[in-house]
A and B are shown apart, each in its own frame.
Chain A
Amino acid sequence: MPPRSLLTGRTFMEFSIPAYCALIAAMGVLAYMSAKRRAMHVAAGTVTNEISRSFHSRPNFHGVFAAGLVTLLAFGVMIGGVIAGLPGWLVIALIVVLAGLAFAYTRTTIRANFKARNVVEFAIKSGLVICSTIAVLTTIGIVLSLLFESLRFFKDVPVLDFLTGLQWSPQTALREDQAGQSGAFGAVPVFAGTFLVMLVAISIAAPTGLMIAMYLSEYASKRTRSIVKPAIEILAGVPTVVYGYFALLTVGPTIRSFAESLGASVPTQSAIAAGSVMGVMIIPFISSLSDDVINAVPQSLRDGSYALGATRSETMIKVVFGGALPGIIGALLLAVSRAIGETMIVVMAAGRAANLTANPFEAVTTVTVQIVALLTGDTEFDTAKTLSAFALGLVLFVITLILNVIALIIVRRYRERYD
Chain B
Amino acid sequence: MTENTSKNIKFTCRDVRVSYSGKEAVKGIDIEIADRSVTAFIGPSGCGKSSFLRVFNRMNDTIPGCAVTGDIRMDGEDIYAPGLDPVLLRARVGMVFQKPNPFPKSIYDNVAYGPRIHGLAESKADLDEIVHNSLKRAGLWDEVKDRLKDSGTGLSGGQQQRLVIARAIAVSPEVILMDEPASALDPIATAKLEVLIEELKEKFCIVIVTHSMAQAARISQKTAFFHMGDLVEYDETDQIFTNPAELRTQDYIMGRTG
Contact = CB atoms under 8 A, between A and B. Distances in A.
A318 B113 contact: yes
B103 A304 contact: yes
Given A314-B117, A322-B104, A322-B105, A304 B62 contact: no
B86 to A, nearest CB: 8
A300 interface: yes
A310 B104 contact: no
A303 B101 contact: yes
A318 B62 CA distance: 18
B43 interface: no
B136 interface: no
A19 B97 CA distance: 68
B117 A306 contact: no
B57 interface: yes
Contact of A304 (B92, B101, B153, B171): B101
A306 B101 contact: no
A298 B100 CA distance: 12
Contacts of A308: 90-91, 94, 113-114, 117, 167-168, 171
A304 B87 contact: no
A284 to B, nearest CB: 26
A309 B59 contact: no
A319 B103 CA distance: 7
A155 interface: no
Given A307-B95, A308-B168, A323 B101 contact: no
A400 interface: no
Interface in A273-323: 298, 300-311, 314, 318-319, 322-323
Contacts of B114: 308-310
A417 interface: yes
A307 B168 contact: yes
Nearest to B118: A309
Contact of A323 (B90, B92, B103): B103
Interface in B168-206: 168, 171
The listed residue with most A CB atoms (<10 A of its CB), out of B87, B99, B153, is B87
Nearest to B105: A322
The listed residue with most A CB atoms (<10 A of its CB), out of B97, B99, B105, B117, is B117
A305 B114 CA distance: 8
A136 to B, nearest CB: 35
Contacts of B214: none
A298 B90 CA distance: 20
The listed residue with most B CB atoms (<10 A of its CB), out of A307, A310, A319, is A307
Contact of B164 (A304, A319, A323): A304
A304 B99 CA distance: 10
Contact of A311 (B87, B97, B164): B87
B113 to A, nearest CB: 7
Contact of B117 (A301, A307, A310): A310
Nearest to B90: A309
A403 to B, nearest CB: 25
B119 to A, nearest CB: 11
A307 B113 CA distance: 12
B88 interface: yes
A303 B97 contact: yes
B103 A307 contact: no
Contacts of A221: 64
Contacts of B89: 309
Contacts of A319: 103, 113
A308 B167 CA distance: 8
Interface residues of A, number: 21
A410 B101 CA distance: 22
B97 A306 contact: no
B62 A305 contact: no
A282 to B, nearest CB: 27
Contacts of B105: 322
Contacts of B87: 309-311
The listed residue with most A CB atoms (<10 A of its CB), out of B90, B97, B103, is B103
A309 B88 contact: yes
A305 B164 CA distance: 11
Nearest to A414: B104
B59 A305 contact: no
A304 B90 CA distance: 11
A396 to B, nearest CB: 35
The listed residue with most B CB atoms (<10 A of its CB), out of A301, A302, A303, is A303
A323 B104 contact: yes
A310 B170 CA distance: 13
A222 B64 CA distance: 10
Contacts of A318: 113, 117
The listed residue with most B CB atoms (<10 A of its CB), out of A222, A298, A309, A319, is A309
Contact of B97 (A304, A309, A314): A304
Contacts of B59: 303, 306-307
Contacts of B168: 307-308
Contacts of A322: 103-105
Interface in B105-141: 105, 113-114, 117-118
A283 to B, nearest CB: 27
Contact of B62 (A303, A314, A323, A417): A303
Nearest to B100: A300
Interface string A195-207: 0000000000000
Nearest to A300: B101
A309 B62 contact: no
Interface string A376-419: 00000000000000000000000000000000000000000100
B117 A309 contact: yes
Nearest to A326: B104
Contacts of A309: 87-92, 114, 117-118, 171
Interface string B132-158: 000000000000000000000100000
8 contacts: A300-B99, A303-B95, A307-B57, A307-B95, A308-B90, A308-B117, A308-B171, A322-B104
Interface of B: 57, 59, 62, 64, 87-92, 94-95, 97, 99, 101-105, 113-114, 117-118, 153, 164, 167-168, 171
